[in-house]
Structure 1
Amino acid sequence: MTVVRDLHEDYGAVFEERGERALPRHFGRPARTQRAVRNAVGVTEHAYGVLVVTGEDRHGFVDNVVTNAVPETDGEGVYALLLEPEGGIRTDMYVYAAGDRLLCFLPPETVGEIAEEWRDSIFLADVEIAEATDDFAVFGVHGPEATEKVASVLHGAGAPDAPLSFTRGEIYDHGVTVIRTDATVGEEGYEVVVGADGASDVLETLITRGLNAPPFGTQVWEALTLEAGTPLYPHDMAGRIPNVLGLRNALDFEKGCYVGQEIVSKVENRGRPSKRLVGLRLDGDAEDVPAIDDPLDVRVDGDDVGEATRAAWGGAVDAPVALALVPYDSDAASATLVTDAGERDADVVDLPFVVGSDRSARAPRYE
């Protein structure tokens, strides 16, 4: 459950459930709000499950199980994956070094299971794992004017410059941590972390004070990230090898062993994965976006070659768009998406569809 449901309702939110939390799906007229974020700035609430890892061995403990090198310097963060033994993605997460603790931000539907598993794996290490999901609210400020927006309401600190770095300051007399994002929507972005007791004041301030920033929900978030070529968990990621998605920002091949590393390294050493992530652009308007509850077949010249994982209205390109996995060496310029309502012709597009004021660090890169 969001800690600011009443305020969301005041702005006309329609809710959805995710990981036992209710979050706004939209606030009405999502296509218009999507344009507002692309052109200026908007504010959303992000759904994270939060783990707090403390103890002298905290860094080595987390570093040993995730795919990226965990920072030790206060104020720095990293995007990382937790893999299955077979190399598929189990979950993604952001890990931040915050003084004498690590903060791990995970999808809310995975946090309870991961917390229990990590506690069972501690043995003799000096590590403690605490779940703190209900202690915090996390608000995203995204758009080409995001820096100006944050600067207009943040006191006691400047907006951080480096991706996944953070500073501490105040908004509306509440202590906050402000994180520079990795541009998941293809625009400048920040996340504002605040204790649950200050969440309503901070959200109201972000929406109404300084530069105006309309609220947006998960529907717009999913569309913006799709345009930016950002794969999301679980839709595009769960069970897939990270190399196939081009998630090079989540992998550090120089660090110590982690679960699934052998499989991922073999894919890397082979020179290329079996598939790659591309975009599909379809004809139609905002009412013609195909529903993708489960992956849909993608065909080229009548043959099933891949699958589409997610679709949305691409306001920046004025067309329905989708993410799809196709053979790595395919050079097809067009494909057919097989939907429950029939076949849809589509142009195959290299990702991202959009690079706005910044490029998503999670947009696929194949080397």
Structure 2
Amino acid sequence: MTSPLLGLPGAVAGDGIDAPVAAHYGSFHGEQRRLVAGDGFVDLSHRDVVRIEGPDRLTWLHSLTTQYFDGLAPGVWTQALVLSPQGHVEHAFTGVDDGTAFVAHTEPGAGRALADFLDRMRFMMRVEVSLVTDDVAVAWRVTGEGATYDLVPRDRLEEYAAAAGPAAGLWAFEALRIERGEPRFGVDTDHRTIPNEVGWIGPAVHLDKGCYRGQETVARVHTLGRPPRRLTLLHLDGSENRLPAHGSAVTLPGSDKQVGFLGSSARHHELGPIGLALLKRNVPIDAELVVDGMPVAQEVVVDPEVGLHVRPQL
């Protein structure tokens, strides 16, 4: 669904799944600086939106997902995951409850699968699930207290932009997200990803709640072991005027053996080209690496020693 904000002056469309919104409006470095200074918004209207209503919605989401939904106050944004029985991340979403419904947004194209899964899991619970992407758009706005998401009636998106401006493109948003070390589901993760590997313990996974699908894997790795892989921030060689392709193999210098893969990458207004990669845990944190023929340095996002490492006394 192409955003009407692509009609704003200077708008240049994104690529791939991000093509329906603007990558930038003429100066992605300037747009980053404005966001850092606390001014502007980002059009995320290509993201899918799912609405969950009914009196049992929070208790039901509490039982299905990794997040603590019981007693969630209206207006509080929260992240949550749905895991496979083996603990792999199958769905990821961010949402807010308004007292009558919980409205969540997820990656472009991922909303139907999320809605279908939730609908299958209703059983006798008093909940209704609907995909409302056609009616509701998502924006990200900088405020005096930080930043927040806004849910905007899709037919009022241009009106919202006129009031919330100036607009910043997705390239600026992505560069700042990568700098913060925040993974994007399906871009910085794969079908084997468990939450412990990418820093979702805490933001999206609550460790003090009842059972949910996949909890055993998350708890075992957190309490007893270490995740098999770790998310890391890569500082890419800035001498080449390009970014490596998504999914590029990460190797050690002089070796063809793959030790990880590159997820997202962007040009940061201060740090230069950066990216997020998922690496094998045993790759030394100070090792220089190579991505698509380009030398890169690491900055730790997920500590390879993360976890409690409890050793039972026999």
Query: If the length of structure 1 is used for normalisation, what is the TM-score?
Result: 0.74
Matched pairs, number: 302
How far off is 1:73 after superposition?
Answer: 2.4
Distance 1:91 1:298 in 2: 29
SS in 2 for 1:348: strand
CA spacing shift, 1:72–1:289, aligned 2, 3 Å = same
CA spacing shift, 1:299–1:22, aligned 2, 3 Å = same
Distance 1:256 1:311 in 2: 37
CA contact (8 A) 2:41 2:140 kept: yes
Partner of 1:366: 306
Partner of 2:124: 124
Partner of 1:44: 42
What does 1:2-17 correspond to in 2, within 5 Å?
2=2, 5=4, 7-16=5-14
**Residues 22-31 or 124-133, more deviating:** 22-31
SS in 2 for 1:74: coil
Partner of 1:235: 187
Partner of 2:205: 251
Matched, 1:282 2:236: yes
CA contact (8 A) 1:95 1:104 kept: yes
Distance 1:191 1:13 in 2: 21
SS in 2 for 1:105: strand
Letter in 1 for 2:93: M
Distance 2:160 2:62 in 1: 33
CA contact (8 A) 1:337 1:346 kept: yes
> Which digits, 9 at most, give the CA deviation of each residue in 1:239-260, with x for residues without a partner?
2111011212211122222222
CA spacing shift, 1:23–1:216, aligned 2, 3 Å = same
Structure 2's unaligned 5+ residue stretches are 308-314
CA contact (8 A) 1:35 1:316 kept: no
Matched, 1:133 2:119: no
How far off is 1:8 after superposition?
Answer: 3.1
**Residues 38-47 or 109-118, more deviating:** 38-47
> Which digits, 9 at most, give the CA deviation of each residue in 1:246-276, with x for residues without a partner?
2122111222222222222221122321222
Partner of 1:267: 221
Partner of 2:310: none
Query: If the length of structure 2 is used for normalisation, what is the TM-score?
Result: 0.85
CA contact (8 A) 2:42 2:141 kept: yes
How far off is 1:81 after superposition?
Answer: 0.9
CA spacing shift, 1:220–1:56, aligned 2, 3 Å = same
Letter in 2 for 1:87: G
Structure 1's unaligned 5+ residue stretches are 148-160, 162-187, 208-212, 353-362
| Identity within the alignment, % | 25
CA spacing shift, 1:322–1:365, aligned 2, 3 Å = farther
**Residues 41-50 or 17-26, more deviating:** 17-26
CA spacing shift, 1:107–1:332, aligned 2, 3 Å = closer
> Which digits, 9 at most, give the CA deviation of each residue in 1:10-69, with x for residues without a partner?
322222476698211222232332233234423211133222212222122222211111
SS in 2 for 1:79: strand
Matched, 1:193 2:151: yes
Partner of 1:333: 286
CA spacing shift, 1:121–1:288, aligned 2, 3 Å = same
Partner of 1:202: 160
Partner of 2:297: 347
Give the alignment partner of residue 23 of structure 1, picking from 21, 24, 37: 21
Letter in 2 for 1:135: D
How far off is 1:332 after superposition?
Answer: 4.1
CA contact (8 A) 1:306 1:324 kept: yes
CA spacing shift, 1:307–1:300, aligned 2, 3 Å = farther
SS in 1 for 2:291: strand
